[in-house]
Amino acid sequence: MTKSLTLPDAERDHVSGSANGSIKLLEYGDYECPFCADAQPVVKEIQRRLGDDLLFAFRHFPLANIHPHSEHAAEAAEAAGAQANFWGMHHLLFENQSALEDKDLAAYAGELGLDATRLIREVASTAYARRIREDFRDGVRAGVNGTPTLFINGERYDGARDLKHLLNALTAM
């Protein structure tokens, strides 16, 4: 169980940045969602600009019926996380959104220098399904109604997701 539905939990979540960062950004997303893929380079640039002022966390919110690859992609990110490279896989998945078959996931694992056999075995057995579902349920309770949904310092952000607006919102608080 996460400590907060709307704030990063450095002990549980996949976080990037500084745990002491005064600005907290939490994304609920789906690797096969085109809007999430659009948001990814924006988030990356925000991380670059805000540096240690920012703590960023990503939770899974796969809409598996309309995005048939989203669950295996989330599993792949978790499986990469188990081999200490969640973020490497996270970025590759968004950057290669149109290629998310299991063979593609294995190739990304190879690219990252991970144990691809282990990763695919875990993906195929949905080893991290419980955690992914927990993310999803927490998202629903937090008021996530689609993807991506962003929370800035615990408040849902419903504004435009371009760099200017998002950066303004993050630094205004």
Partner 1 sequence: MSLNEFRGRPVVLAFYPADWSPVCGDQMALYNEMLDEFQEFQAELLGISVDGAWCHSAFAKQNKLHFPLLADFEPKGAVARTYGVYDEKDGVCERALFVINTAGIIHWRYVSPIGVNPGANGILSALEDLKAKSETIGAAK
Binding site for partner 1 (CB under 8 A): 62-66, 136-137, 140-146
**Least distance in angstroms from the C-beta of 122 to partner 1:** 22
Listed residue (100, 80, 99) closest to 89, CA to CA: 80
Amino acid identity, position 2: T
Instruction: State which residue, 5 or 89, has the beta carbon closest to partner 1.
Output: 5
Taking the complex as a whole, how short is the minimal distance between the CB of residue 48 and partner 1, in angstroms? 30
Smallest separation (angstroms) from partner 1 to the CB of 60: 12
Q: How far is the CB of 33 from partner 1 (least distance, A)?
A: 10
Interhelix angle for 70-82 vs 102-111, to 10°?
30
- Complex with partner 1: residue 83 or 149, whichever CB lies closer: 149
Nearer to partner 1, 119 or 132 (CB): 132
Q: Which residues of 77-115 are buried (b: 16+ CB within 10 A; e: fewer)?
A: bbbbbebebbbbbbbbbbebbeebebebbbebbeebebe
